[in-house]
Amino acid sequence: MIIELTVNGTLRSVEITPSMRLLDMLRNVLGLTSVKEGCSEGECGACTVLLDGKAVTSCTVLAVQARGRSVVTIEGLSSDEALHPIQQAFVDHDAIQCGFCTPGMIMSAYALLKHTPSPTREEIQRGIEGNLCRCTGYLPIIDAIEDAARRMRTHES
Amino acid sequence: MAELKYVGRDVQRNDIVEKASGRIKYMGDRMQGGAAHARLILSPIARGRVVSFDASEAERMPGVLRVFSPKDDPGKRFNSALFLPDQTDLQDHPVFTDKPLFVGDILGAVLAKDEETARAAAAAVKIGFEEEAPLLDMEQAALPQTPSFREGMPQVVEGKIAYGEESLPGDAIILESVVRTQKIHHGAMENHICEARMEYGGVLLVETPCQMAFTVRYVLADLFGIPFNKVRVVKTPVGGAFGGKQEVGIEPHCALMALKTGLPVRLALDRTQTILATRTRAASVGRILIAADREGNLLRREMDVIVDAGAYATGTQRVMMAMGKKTSRLYRIPSQSFRGRTVFTNTTPAGACRGYGSPQIHAITEIAMDLLARKLLLDPAEFRLKNLVHPWDTDPAGGPALGNARIRDCLVRGMEVFRWNERRVIPSGTGRFRRGVGLACCTHGNGYFGSPYPDFMSMAMRFCEDGTVLVNAGLQELGNGTLTTIGQIVAEVLDLPPERVEVSESDTSTTPFDVGCVASRVTYVCGSCALELAEKLKSRFLGQCARVLAVDAHRLSLKNGNVVDSEEGGRRSYGGMVCRIAKELREEAGEYLHYKPEANPASYGVHFAETLTDTLTGTVEVTDYLAVHDVGRAINPRLLRGQIYGGVQMGVGMALSEELVYDSKGRPKSASLSRYTMINAPSMPKVGVLLVEEGEPGGPFGGKSIGEICTVPVAPAIANAVNASLGTMMTELPFTPERILAALSARRETNAR
Ligand code: FES
Ligand code: FES
């Protein structure tokens, strides 16, 4: 079947099967390979994307559920030249080691900051509690998100 | 020493923008270019025999290319840790087995045109088994009367290390204890994956996110009887490794399928398969006796440790011996004995895992040290200070000298920053929540020198026509910053910005030999190789420039990308000189180096933990943490701190929640991330880091290892804090709520009596 949806701001029609997961559609059909699969059961957050502005684990969502809705992956955050402030903060705080958790982590951070522009450290920890990172111990990630929030606030004001 | 420009600075890691943007392509992200997809068929039983293998339904499914069964096994057995023929590790590992020895043992595979079909077809293969009762308990496995499941192979492999007098003074204070450490999943976020294909010239090309490409080559060439120069192993980006991608894993299976079909094959595991069918951290049981005099001077230590290899030998015997070798390098102990027994159980094979046995042996010894301190009525920190090694001590068991061993500095400075003396005597309280502090010391190595495994490396380094530098090395970036660190060292010597240095990764056909990014050897060994080679290249390049410019080489120096003439004052770019050297001398500005380390000093660390335990629910929160490390010299302090944070996180999991457990039939109860609890952001404590940088001779700019040692003392530090706060003597990791509640009620009962 063919569904229409918005992916990273562009209206797309995509051929899917009824059992296809959103994760498979994004990776295999649309080639958005930033979306990673770490556990296939909604536990690791590596596959996190935004669905109508909310962070979801795309391994637990069917592609058909995205019909008519808007999906954003990390490919939709930055342009070729400039990183998004969250990405830049991850770079500046060395919040990335192997990088496998990073796209999902940044999408969760993005969703958090959208609704909570000035989060406390505890709110940040809770905002990424569904994203596992085995490398960094989270501390640089939490610093990066705190810093990104600051940067985004000054940017806007 | 003149001020350093790049070493000791927070240089940005080389690939971080690619990773932040999500553009980096791990193996699973690459275009599949006509590859056939393989799905492994894993044993659902822990021990038995395949009596029927019916693939007819699977074979009829459209898109299925071929089904592999135990009949496709090449017959020869391999050992996944072996990299030279004289290594004695048991070769007992089949590719496809008809006698499964654990749930997850690999029976066969389906090759199909896409992943979905392969998965469906694998599920459609009907296999009949004759089951046998599995052997699951490692202590039972160590008993001589226990029948072995290992057909013709020993059930117990023993190793001993001892020195000093065996006798004990009659008035010694003695602590005896049994400490248990659990089986752990590495938990790299990227699951195991590999690709194999036949290339032009009959070359078997295997691409894999691995830590030791040359070991993969060794095992594949040996197993399949292919000339080594016809096997090309290329390392791809790694989404986390931690030792789980150190030993050869699924490469033999993938290569076998490519060899048999001539097709390019991609073999990808999902999380459950990665947990079940790859490797784990070995569980251990350590019986320990420590004797000290009344003042707290250690007299003797005896350790009898059983290490669970799981179903196949893999590298676990090496892990067991590595455990023993650590025990004579932390405290001055007049006499000691270590007996290790590697035993086999019907569980997922163990093998290398961050620390290579160090976290296990330090859990055993450091938890016991605290229990003895309690018996001696001594402050655990003061007790350790009395006994810790001093710089330049030798290893009484005959291992390499300890080098500039700065553990005492670590402890003294850590006590001050953590306010140990003050916090230790604060009562833990009598209410529901109990607060306590604990610490643990540790040591780890810097390579293979002094072990049975040869340590050496070669590298090539050259200037390009634009003055950039290419380092051709068989390295493996694992996310820990290897390439960045090596690049910084080279940049320092050749005086150019680190981003103008490109460091390669392993490709066994094009990069010089290296034994791998393992054994905490990269900074100390590979970094020193890079340093010495950069100096060699510098002197060659300056000599070449002198000949081209017809001046004395002593007048020339390298400054920020330019060759500077001190007398004439001219500045000429590296690139310009490289081109002139090419044209006028017909030479390349390049060098090659064979490097052998001649030392293997120890790295050290002390971790301090504060815990808050809820006596009602049994949950533990780590509320404060300080990691102090003797690193010789931080090449990149920010990357180094990142290693420590990650190491602490893995260690907190080992202390409190992570454990692979089995039911009585050997079926894993924690084969998914919903049942295997790794530490997430809310459970991660704040971690302070304190570095002792006194310089290690033989290391680049004085640097030595950090990546493994930083996870070593975490579990005992936390365990000691919990035991101190509850007055318990728990010795079985992890400290789950159930175990804590049980220990509390046992203590209440003893107190009531
Ligand atoms: S792959 Fe979706 S949450 Fe892990
Ligand atoms: S950076 Fe490796 S899992 Fe997060």
Residues B81 and B217 both lie in one domain? yes
Residues B615 and B713 both lie in one domain? yes
The proportion of chain B whose per-residue pLDDT surpasses 90, expressed as a percent, equals: 96
Fold of A85-156: DNA polymerase; domain 1 (1.10.150)
Q: Which atom of ligand 1 is nearest to the CA of A39?
A: 4
Please say which residue of B595, B627, B655 terminates a domain. B595
Residues B693 and B723 both lie in one domain? yes
Q: pLDDT tens across B146-198, in order?
A: 999 998 899 999 999 999 999 988 899 999 999 999 999 999 999 999 999 99
Query: With a 6 A CB cut-off, is A107 part of the ligand 1 pocket?
Result: no
Flag if B188 and A134 touch (Cβ within 8 Å).
Answer: yes
Query: With a 6 A CB cut-off, is A109 part of the ligand 1 pocket?
Result: no
CA distance A10 to chain B (A): 19
B84 CB burial (10 A radius; 0-12, 13-18, 19+): exposed
Tell how far the Cα of B58 is from the centroid of ligand 2, in angstroms. Answer: 37
pLDDT value, residue B750: 84
Q: Which residue in B20, B28, B649 is closest to A83 by CB distance?
A: B20
Whether B666 maps to a domain, the answer reads: yes
pLDDT value, residue A156: 67
Specify whether the backbone of B113 is left (phi greater than 0), alpha (psi in -120 to 50) or beta: alpha
Q: pLDDT tens across B327-355, in order?
A: 999 999 999 999 999 999 999 999 999 99
| H or E element at residue B144 | none
The proportion of chain B whose per-residue pLDDT surpasses 70, expressed as a percent, equals: 100
Which domain covers residue B38, as residue numbers?
32-133+188-241+245-277
Cis ω before B734 (30° cut-off from 0) = yes
Decide which of B33 and A105 is more confident: A105
pLDDT value, residue B569: 87
- Nearest-Å Rg of the Cα atoms of chain A is 15
- Stretch B730-743: mean pLDDT, rounded? 98
Please say which residue of B595, B627, B661 terminates a domain. B595
In the structure encoding, which two tokens stand for residue B60, read together? 């009829």
Q: pLDDT tens across B278-313, in order?
A: 999 999 999 999 999 999 999 999 999 999 999 999
Q: Which residues pair with B472 in a beta bridge?
A: B460
Whether B159 maps to a domain, the answer reads: no
Q: Which superfamily does CATH assign the domain made up of A2-76 to?
A: Beta-grasp domain (3.10.20.30)
Q: Which atom of ligand 2 is nearest to the CA of A134?
A: 3
Mean pLDDT of chain A: 96
Residues B307 and B389 both lie in one domain? yes
Q: Which residues pair with B690 in a beta bridge?
A: B628
Residue B499: give its domain's CATH number.
3.30.365.10
pLDDT value, residue B587: 98
CA distance A90 to chain B (A): 7
Is pLDDT of A81 > 80? no
Domain ranges (residues) in chain A: 2-76, 85-156
Preferred mutation among B680, B683, B689, B706 to probe A, highest tally of A CBs within 10 A: B680
Q: pLDDT tens across B521-540, in order?
A: 999 999 999 999 999 999 99
pLDDT value, residue B460: 98
Q: Spell out the alpha helix ranges (H) of A97-138.
A: 102-115, 121-127
Ligand nearest to the CA of A56: 1
CA distance A72 to chain B (A): 13
Query: With a 6 A CB cut-off, is A44 part of the ligand 1 pocket?
Result: yes
Flag if B23 and A134 touch (Cβ within 8 Å).
Answer: no
Q: Which residues of B touch A97 (CB under 8 A)?
A: 240, 479-481, 642, 646
Q: Give the CA angle between residues B259, B264, B265 to the nearest 5°.
A: 85
CA distance B184 to chain A (A): 13
Query: With a 6 A CB cut-off, is B497 part of the ligand 2 pocket?
Result: no
Residues B232 and B334 both lie in one domain? no
Residues B330 and B385 both lie in one domain? yes
pLDDT value, residue B381: 98
Residue B267: give its domain's CATH number.
3.90.1170.50
In whole angstroms, give the CA distance from residue B549 to residue B553.
9
- Stretch A114-119: mean pLDDT, rounded? 97
Whether B183 maps to a domain, the answer reads: no
* pLDDT tier at B32, thresholds 50, 70, 90: confident
Using CA positions, which residue lies closest to atom 4 of ligand 2? A133
Flag if A138 and B649 touch (Cβ within 8 Å).
Answer: yes
Q: pLDDT tens across B431-474, in order?
A: 999 999 999 999 999 999 999 999 999 999 999 999 999 999 99
Residues B94 and B237 both lie in one domain? yes
pLDDT value, residue B752: 79
Closest residue, chain A, to B678 (C-alpha): A132
Tell how far the Cα of A28 is from the centroid of ligand 1, in angstroms. Answer: 16
pLDDT value, residue B554: 95
Q: Which residues pair with A56 in a beta bridge?
A: A49
Using CA positions, which residue lies closest to atom 3 of ligand 2? A133
Is pLDDT of A157 > 70? no
In whole angstroms, give the CA distance from residue B107 to residue B94.
9
Closest residue, chain A, to B22 (C-alpha): A34
Query: With a 6 A CB cut-off, is A95 part of the ligand 2 pocket?
Result: no
Is pLDDT of A71 > 70? yes
pLDDT value, residue B1: 54
Residue B702 vs residues A33, B603, B637, B696: alpha-carbon distances, Å: 41, 12, 14, 4
Residues B108 and B232 both lie in one domain? yes
Q: Which residues pair with B196 in a beta bridge?
A: B206, B265
Residues B566 and B644 both lie in one domain? no
In whole angstroms, give the CA distance from residue B106 to residue B636.
42
Residues B484 and B418 both lie in one domain? no
* pLDDT tier at B749, thresholds 50, 70, 90: confident
In the structure encoding, which two tokens stand for residue B121, read together? 């077809």
Domain count, chain B: 3
Residues B579 and B687 both lie in one domain? no
Tell how far the Cα of B190 is from the centroid of ligand 2, in angstroms. Answer: 9
Mean pLDDT of chain B: 97
Backbone angles phi, psi at B710, to 5 degrees: -70, -15
Residues B306 and B359 both lie in one domain? yes
B143 CB burial (10 A radius; 0-12, 13-18, 19+): exposed
Best residue for ligand 2 mutational test, from A47, A136, A138, A142 (most atoms within 8 Å of Cβ) = A136
Flag if B21 and A87 touch (Cβ within 8 Å).
Answer: yes
- Stretch B360-367: mean pLDDT, rounded? 98
Whether B747 maps to a domain, the answer reads: yes
Q: What is the residue type of B737?
A: P
Per DSSP, the three-state class of B234 is strand
pLDDT value, residue A4: 98
